[in-house]
């Protein structure tokens, strides 16, 4: 079983240009709970009054998922999370030399000592503690081991390996996660950014190497190029890796569209799984194939029904007669062979002019041709 930690409402909301109201965050949190994620990272309570209220409202909504708040390794940040009634505090600190030198400006010894103190403080308050070594993938492995071992000793429940700037190749991430898993006795989680388009591949490599929790966002939202996409990660885990998660996949499309609407961030038409074209077919050969048997030109191990989508035959210049016949029959038209050929000719003519053939176009063409021939 792989746990799904959703950070749409925290890292996802850090997408440049995205800002959600507390009401919108609550609507998304309810949907994530319906979808079945294990953890909802609701926000960073210390960052503003509105953010604090929003995290608290989500934490008190009575959701099945554990509600988590983000915190630096600072007592005041942790207190804001605890005051917001979260069930998990996610404490993080930079561990790479570059971030230590240019952002937190502390010694490694201080960072380890403050991390231990932060984890102990969270655990003294009886909630779950997740510890992230920010920029772990650019951190010297020996220091990563030192800090992870120290926080495990302090009582952390989960450690997270973030690929903060998305620089890992899947094979290198596999090696790193395997090494970390070899010395940790608590749950290992990963958080992959998508700077090179590898966030999902890296998350999957991490699971192969022993990670048992992945951090994801709906529609891959997040800082810069975003985080690992929830739908792509989950469906790959289920359908390709044969792994189990608690996700009710039939709500994936509904969830993606809700987040698209509330964040005003469009899902590309060719997005895997949830995009409009994910199960659409235009070419004659493909359409003919899927009309006969859907897995001729679809994965088969993933169907539109599994993810709450629908299969579409799109008409255009690549269309063949089987597809047109099927679409017309579904619309209640039963043309003769001659009529069918003429309808097909007119569809291709429109397609050649660079036009998409809409349902209304098809209806007009069919009625004209059926009336003429
Ligand atoms: O990208 C990152 O490292 C983060 C941490 C807070 C986990 O978002
Ligand atoms: Zn991040």
**pLDDT value at position 46?**
98
Question: Measuring from atom 1 of ligand 1, which residue has the nearest CA?
Answer: 164
Using most ligand atoms within 8 A of CB, pick from 69, 95, 134 the residue to mutate for ligand 1. Answer: 134
By C-alpha distance, which of 63, 49, 56, 68 is closest to 191? 68
pLDDT score at 289: 87
- Give me the phi and psi of 133, to 5 degrees please: -95, 95
**Cα separations (Å) of 7 from 38, 69, 131, 228?**
11, 10, 15, 10
Ligand 1 atom, smallest distance to 70 CA: 6
**Ligand 1 contact, 173 CB (< 6 A):** no
Residue 311's pLDDT is what?
A: 94
Residue range 160-187: mean pLDDT, rounded: 98
Tell me the average pLDDT of the chain.
96
pLDDT score of 172: 98
Is any atom of ligand 1 closer than 6 Å to the C-beta of 228? no
Q: What is the DSSP letter of 300?
A: S
What mean pLDDT is predicted for residues 157-181?
Answer: 98
pLDDT band at 285 (very low <50, low <70, confident <90, very high): confident
Q: Which helix (H) or strand (E) holds 337?
A: helix 337-352
- Mean pLDDT confidence for 43-52: 97
pLDDT value at position 372? 73
Ligand 1 pocket check for 134: Cβ under 6 Å: yes
Cα 10 to middle of ligand 2, angstroms: 9
Q: What is the pLDDT of residue 48?
A: 95
Q: Is 7 in the pocket of ligand 1 (CB under 6 A)?
A: no
Question: 135 C-alpha to center of ligand 1: Å?
Answer: 8
pLDDT at 345 > cutoff 80: yes
Q: Where are the beta strands (DSSP E) in 274-328?
A: 280-281, 312-313
Q: What is the C-alpha separation between 148 and 50, in angstroms, rounded?
A: 33
Structure tokens at 106: 């502390």
For the cut 80, the answer to whether the pLDDT of residue 142 exceeds it is yes
Q: According to the model, what pLDDT value does residue 197 have?
A: 98
Q: What is the ipTM of this complex?
A: 0.99
- Does the CB atom of residue 217 touch ligand 1 within 6 A? no
The number of beta carbons lying within 10 Å of the beta carbon of residue 266 is 10
Site of tokens 């309570």: 45
pLDDT at residue 105, rounded to an integer: 86
- For 231, the token pair is 């739908």
| pLDDT level of residue 354 (50, 70, 90 thresholds) | confident
CA of 162 to the centre of ligand 1 (A): 6
Q: What is the pLDDT of residues 172-182, one digit of tens each?
A: 999 999 999 99
pLDDT > 90: what percent of the chain? 89
Work out the percent of the chain whose per-residue pLDDT is above 70: 100
Per-residue confidence (pLDDT) for residue 122, from 0 to 100? 98
Cβ-Cβ contacts under 8 Å for 213 (sequence gap 6 or more): 2, 3, 4, 5, 38, 39, 158, 160, 187, 188, 189, 190
Residue 39 pairs with which residues in a beta bridge?
Answer: 5, 66
Tokens of 37: 């994620």
As given in the structure block, the two tokens for residue 214 are 């992945």
Q: Note the pLDDT of residue 355.
A: 85
Dist CA 118 CA 105 (whole Å): 18
Identify the band that residue 286 occupies on the pLDDT scale cut at 50, 70 and 90.
confident
Asked if the model's pLDDT at residue 287 lies above 90, the reply is: no
CA 340 to ligand 2 center in whole angstroms: 54
| Residue minimizing CA distance to atom 2 of ligand 1 | 164
Q: Which of 166-175, 229-238, 290-299 has the lowest mean pLDDT?
A: 290-299
Q: How far apart are CA 228 and CA 342, in angstroms?
A: 47
How far CA 196 is from CA of 204, 219, 228, in Å, comes to 15, 16, 11
Per-residue model confidence (pLDDT) at position 107: 97
Q: How far apart are CA 176 and CA 236, in angstroms?
A: 21
Instruction: Please check the confidence at residue 60 and state whether its pLDDT lies above 90.
Output: yes
Residues 36-49: what's their mean pLDDT?
98
Q: Could you tell me if the CB of 191 is within 6 A of ligand 1? A: yes
Contact status, residue 305 vs residue 257, Cβ threshold 8 Å: no
- DSSP code for 357: -
Whether residue 162 has its Cβ less than 6 Å from ligand 1: yes
pLDDT, tens digit, for every residue of 105-116? 899 999 999 999
Average pLDDT over residues 69-74: 98
Ligand 1 contacts CB of residue 132 (under 6 A): yes
Q: Is residue 27 within 8 Å of 258, Cβ to Cβ?
A: yes
């Amino acid at each position: 079983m792989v746990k799904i930690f959703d950070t749409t409402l925290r890292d996802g909301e850090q997408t440049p240009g995205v800002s959600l109201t507390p009401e919108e965050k609550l609507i998304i949190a309810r949907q994530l709970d319906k979808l079945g994620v294990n953890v909802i990272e609701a926000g960073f309570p210390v960052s503003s009054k509105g953010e604090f209220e929003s995290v608290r409202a989500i934490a008190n909504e009575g959701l099945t998922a554990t509600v988590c708040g983000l915190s630096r390794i600072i007592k005041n940040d942790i207190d804001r999370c605890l005051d917001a009634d979260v069930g998990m505090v996610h404490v993080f600190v930079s561990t790479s030399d570059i971030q230590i030198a240019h952002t937190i400006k502390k010694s490694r010894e201080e960072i380890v000592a403050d991390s231990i103190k932060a984890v102990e403080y969270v655990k003294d308050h009886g909630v779950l503690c997740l510890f992230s070594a920010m920029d772990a993938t650019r951190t010297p492995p020996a220091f990563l081991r030192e800090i992870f071992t120290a926080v495990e000793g302090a009582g952390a429940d989960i450690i997270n390996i973030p690929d903060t700037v998305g620089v890992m190749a899947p094979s290198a991430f596999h090696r790193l996660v395997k090494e970390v898993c070899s010395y940790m006795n608590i749950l290992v989680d990963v958080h992959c950014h998508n700077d090179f388009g590898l966030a999902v591949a890296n998350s999957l490599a991490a699971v192969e190497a022993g990670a048992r929790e992945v951090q994801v966002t709906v529609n891959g939202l997040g800082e810069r190029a975003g985080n690992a996409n929830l739908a792509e990660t989950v469906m790959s885990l289920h359908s390709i890796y044969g792994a189990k998660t608690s996700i009710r996949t039939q709500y994936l499309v509904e969830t993606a569209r809700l987040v698209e609407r509330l964040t005003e961030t469009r899902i590309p038409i060719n997005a895997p799984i949830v995009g409009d074209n994910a199960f659409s077919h235009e070419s004659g050969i493909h359409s003919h194939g899927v009309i006969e048997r859907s897995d001729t030109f679809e994965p088969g191990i993933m169907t539109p029904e599994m993810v709450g989508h629908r299969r579409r035959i799109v008409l255009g210049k690549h269309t063949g007669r089987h597809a047109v016949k099927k679409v017309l029959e579904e619309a209640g038209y039963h043309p003769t062979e001659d009529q069918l050929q003429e309808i097909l000719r007119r569809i291709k003519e429109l397609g050649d002019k660079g036009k998409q053939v809409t349902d209304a176009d098809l209806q007009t063409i069919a009625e004209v041709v059926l009336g003429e021939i």
